[in-house]
Amino acid sequence: MTSPKVSLPELDLHAYVDGRLPEKRREEVETFLAANPQEQERVGVYLQQNNMLHALFDPVLAEPIPPKWQTPNRRWSWRLGPIAAALAWIALGGALGWLLRGEQAGSSGKNVDFARRAAIAHAVYSPEVRHPVEVTAEQEEHLVRWLSKRLGGDLKAPHLVDLGYELVGGRLLPGEQGPVAQFMYQEKNGQRLTLYIKTDASSERETAFRYSQEGTVGVFYWIDHRLSYALSGECGKEELLKVANAVYQKLNP
């Protein structure tokens, strides 16, 4: 039988705590600890630290693993979803627009901003599956009344069913100088258009249609009866123009 030693290498105490000692050595350490209450207490604390770490963090092991972690993903789709990609294109367009700003007459710059904001709002909300709008078309009357009140103007949500687009609903958004409204429409195949409306239409009472391509999002925008409109979509310029014309006519019967 071995007699208790005066001290043990620190390394052995930790190996004891971690269960990494061979049987014989383990017994020696236990004999030593039995004769050294202070060391025994310290080792007891270390053992408890390990137990508590497991009590604290083992529940994480039971959490379901997200599917995206289970297979190698393509780099871009992992980080940059379609929304982010659309926004990146719009930002790039914005940078180019700024570089080419000399080509544009002064006052139209503001309108280009308006078109870009409309395109961004389109890119953010149109891919939404569960919450594309705040108020759905089922409460159309309430929706239009609410947005009119918040914008301080007489808004209408034109019906575009004859063109194949159904009203999904709408939402209120922050604009540069106050609230902005967005109506969303959807075609049978899921294609969505958004109509973005703000009230502060500066001094211009009316303008012609203008077109701006913001990344993959096309925007027709115009001013009518002191309201600024921007119709955004990814359906191609011709189709968008057809709808923009229809919107204009329905608002001016």
Partner 1 sequence: MDNADGIVAHIPPLRRYARALTGDHAAAEDLVQDTLERAWKRFRLWRRGTNLRAWLFAIMHNVFLNQVKASQSRQDQATDSAEVNLPVTPPQDQRLDLRDLNRALRKLSAEKREVILLIGLEQLSYDEAAKVLGVPVGTVMSRLSRGREDLRLLMNRGSATAQLKVVK
Q: Which of 226, 190, 198 is nearest to 117 (CA)?
A: 198
Residue 241 φ/ψ region, left for φ over 0, alpha for ψ in the -120 to 50 degree band, beta for the rest: alpha
Between 60 and 79, how does the x/- string for binding to partner 1 read (CB under 8 A)? Answer: xxxx-x---xx-xx-x--x-
Which one, 34 or 55, has the nearer CB to partner 1? 55
Angle among Cα 29, 34, 37 to the nearest 5 degrees reads 110
- The answer to whether 226 touches 205, Cβ cutoff 8 Å, is yes
Which residues, including other chains, have CB under 8 Å from residue 73's CB and lie 6 or more apart?
A: none
Q: How far is the CB of 54 from partner 1 (least distance, A)?
A: 7
By the rule CB under 8 A, 58 interacts with partner 1:
yes
Q: How far is the CB of 68 from partner 1 (least distance, A)?
A: 8
By the rule CB under 8 A, 110 interacts with partner 1:
no
Which one of 5, 27, 37, 53 is in contact with partner 1 (CB under 8 A)?
A: 53
Stretch that binds partner 1, among 40-48, 184-192, 208-216, 229-237 (CB under 8 A): 40-48
Which residues, including other chains, have CB under 8 Å from residue 108's CB and lie 6 or more apart?
A: 210
List of residues contacting partner 1 (CB under 8 A):
10-11, 14-15, 17-18, 20, 42, 45-46, 49-50, 52-63, 65, 69-70, 72-73, 75, 78
